[in-house]
Amino acid sequence: MEFFRTVKLKTTEENLHSFLTLANLDKISTEIFNLDEPSEKEAHIGGIWGEFTLSRSKIKGGCRFALLECPNALCWTITTGYPPNPESIVIHLTINRTEKDEEFIEEITDVLDDMCHNLNQFFSQEKITHD
């Protein structure tokens, strides 16, 4: 399954690389949090789904995050500068299932909405849209 959110604000790949660090996890999401001091590429995190190793990779346009032990292979990217919204930040979250129960989908929606809110707050810009 795929989930998208678009934050209507303009930034750069470099700004996303600087802000989207595991040390800044508390600024990115209130739904997940560091349990130990993170490294640049991995963190031991906790959250609504339990404890996981969260990996972070810089990618073209932004960053990719993945819950390494997650049975749903949950991962997301936060990027900017590409169609269909090159002037916006796009959050793209995926899981390796075609169907999940409604409660899990609602939790994913809450996590995405939280990230949108926090990105919007940090970059102090306009509105959030849902695709």
Work out the average pLDDT over 19-33: 96
Work out the average pLDDT over 88-107: 94
Are 119 and 28 within 8 A, CB to CB?
yes
- Does residue 28 form part of some domain? no
Residue 83, pLDDT above cutoff 90: no
- Does residue 124 form part of some domain? yes
Domain count, the chain: 1
Q: What is the dihedral of CA 108, 111, 113, 115, to 10 degrees?
A: -140
What range defines the domain where residue 72 resides?
2-19+59-130
Work out the average pLDDT over 94-109: 94
Q: What is the mean pLDDT of the chain?
A: 92
Are 31 and 47 within 8 A, CB to CB?
yes
- Does residue 43 form part of some domain? no
- Does residue 42 form part of some domain? no
The whole model's pTM is what? 0.91
Residue 18: which residues within 8 A CB-CB, separation 6 or more? Answer: none
- Does residue 91 form part of some domain? yes
- Does residue 107 form part of some domain? yes
Read off the pLDDT band of 73 (50, 70, 90).
Answer: very high
Residue 120, pLDDT above cutoff 80: yes
- Does residue 80 form part of some domain? yes
- Does residue 29 form part of some domain? no
